Amino acid sequence: MRGGIPRSPGRIFAWGMAGLVMLWLTAPVLVLLPLSFSGRRSFRFPPDTWSLRWYENFFTDSTWHASLLTSLKVGLLSTAASMILGTMAAFALHKLYFSGKAFVTGFLLAPMIFPGVVSAIAIFGVYLTWHISGTLTGFVAAHTVLSLPFVIVSVRSALRIFDWELEKAAASLGASPFETFRLVTLPLILPGVLIGGLFAFVISFDEVVVSLFLQTPFVRTLPVQMYLSVTESIDPTVAAASTIIVIVTVASILISMLFWQKRKTSDA
């Protein structure tokens, strides 16, 4: 909106509503942030004393920072896997005609709408027989399944606006199918792939239900560690951890937005 100064009563109302909604959406963070700087072992809000001890605890207690590291590892690996697999799947769905395509599409997108707890039990059951429950591989595979649909959806929408004549042009100029993909198609659908990847990372980093089933004391993601911490003890480190999660998520979105902005201005 231009100007931004509300004049008419309608505008004042609209801005007021928007403000309320923004407050509603951010309120949890506004509570958590001060809590993480509390000086006491309590969840009293607002805190009466202040300290950095919970952040110190987060980075010295290995159960906490190891879980952050696990989350980052699982997040980055599953993001990479779902970006590659999702792009391939989106291509197949876009380019190929085969019977049962609607079924395959629905199957691939199912994890997006399937109840998380059902997926979790199913994955857990299979993992027990495969003996990969509680392993990094198991986490990465499970998170890849969950984030794959978001990459597929995002890449498909990029492919929908891609001009396929460019692939013909590249071929006529002597580019093999692989060169065409690397030099023409991929650079042009990259925004779709990256947005899908961003979704994938945020989903993995934030995932609790499946991770709760797969966790062991040795391999545990940060959200699971937080859940267990809250159920077992009163430990404001969880507030510090929440703040760190918010920072990582917001940072990854901001970085991608900045990247976008740069791309756009360099293109214009």
CB of 186 to another protein, least distance (A): 10
Nearer to another protein, 56 or 179 (CB): 179
Beta bridge partners of residue 50, listed in sequence order: 38
DSSP 8-state class, residue 91: H
Give the sign of the dihedral formed by CA 74, CA 80, CA 84, CA 90. Answer: positive
For the bound state, the minimum distance from the C-beta of residue 131 to another protein, rounded and expressed in Å, comes to 46
Closest distance to another protein from the beta carbon of 268 (Å): 9
Q: Which is nearer to another protein, 232 or 267 (CB)?
A: 267
Distance, CA of 90 to CA of 88 (rounded, Å): 5
- Look at the block and give the residue holding tokens 């499946």: 210
Asked if 144 and 78 count as a contact pair (C-beta separation under 8 A), the reply is yes
What is the binding site for another protein (CB under 8 A)? 163, 165-166, 168-177, 179-180, 183-184, 187-188, 267
Amino acid at 138: G
State the nearest-atom distance from the C-beta of 263 to another protein, in Å.
Answer: 10
- Closer residue to another protein (CB): 189 or 198: 189
Q: Which residue lies nearer to another protein by CB, 89 or 184?
A: 184
Q: Looking at beta carbons only, is 30 or 268 nearer to another protein?
A: 268
Q: What's the min distance (Å) between Cβ of 135 and another protein?
A: 40
Q: What angle do CA 240, 72, 92 make, to 5 degrees?
A: 135
Cα–Cα–Cα angle for 28, 33, 34, rounded to 5 degrees: 110
Sign of the torsion angle spanned by Cα atoms 125, 130, 134, 135:
negative
Nearest to 248 by CA among 12, 69, 116, 84: 69
Tell me whether residue 129 or residue 265 sits nearer to another protein (CB atom).
Answer: 265
Q: How far apart are CB 82 and another protein at their closest, in Å?
A: 24
Query: Is 38 in a helix, a strand, or coil?
Result: strand
